[in-house]
Amino acid sequence: MKKLIFKGSGVALVTPYAECGVDYRALEDLLEFHLNHKTDALIICGTTGEASTMSEEEHKSVLKFCAEKVKGRLPMIAGTGNNNTEKSIRLSQYAEEIGYDGLLLVTPYYNKTTQKGLKEHYGAIAKSVKLPIILYNVPSRTGVSISLDTLIYLDENYDNIVAVKEASGDVAFAARVLAETGLAVYAGNDDVTLPILAVGGCGVISVVANIIPEEMHNLCADYENGDIGRAKADFLKMLRLMDAMFYEVNPIPVKTAMKLLGFNAGKLRLPLCTMEDTNLARLKKTLTEYGFKIK
């Protein structure tokens, strides 16, 4: 297996948007929260951060702000994937320039591509930087999957492609990636964290860690330290809360939950919107049953 960027629970951090732009004071508070609550890595400007709504200038501004606050304190991974290869290269080079530890590159969405196109897209980005790269396989959102053959090719041809964030929900596929390549695998869905760890994965890029960072860190650490029974019990306890983060499309539920728990998570950006009343009631009930006090 290639050198890891991190092990354990990396948070797919939300971006607190204001009426106009980003609320940087709120963002700083969220960064400090994770620095103080055992999060193992920060993933900035990913899906949960609503990066697809950002201008390139704003995207760079958020990356820079987080780097200035966190560099050297926790591993930082920049979400720089895009369906425009040249834009992804520019963002990736910028993240490298300002000190990020790695990149998260989602498969191109909307225009999609073939497996040949994926090889060329990822190859072009990998050749443009030296940073280690995590490929992000999330077909439910992008409409395209990275095949095992493509992952084998990318692993063999690019030393800085080191891992996959596997968010297809297919644990058997994750196991095949681990069996057939030298790539590490991170769970891309919270609800498969324990199964991914069980087949040899090295952690999770987590949505629910926005509200329970210590619990997600402890789950991964307990498994790593051989306390499988405790990890299993904690995972099963958290499972309904993990599910609640997907009552509607991410990050609607997690930002809503954060507000209910007193975090300044900021606004959602259209086309994302506030939760339907029925789902909001379900979310409140799940949070309360987990033991949270809603504010």
- Residues involved in catalysis: 136, 165
Q: Which residues contact 187 (CB under 8 A, 6 or more apart)?
A: 165, 166, 167, 174, 193, 195, 196, 197, 201, 203, 204, 205, 206
Q: Report long-range pairs for 170-179 (Cβ below 8 Å, ≥24 apart).
A: 171/195, 171/196, 171/199, 173/148, 174/199, 174/201, 175/199, 175/200, 176/148, 177/148, 177/151
Strand 133-137 relative to strand 102-106: parallel, antiparallel, unpaired? parallel
Cβ–Cβ < 8 Å for 45, 80? yes
**Residue 256 backbone dihedrals phi, psi, to 5 degrees:** -65, -45
For 128, the token pair is 């443009």
CB 268 within 8 A of CB 259: no
Residue for token digits 């697809």?
Answer: 52
Residue 80 CA to residue 111 CA, distance in Å, equals 17
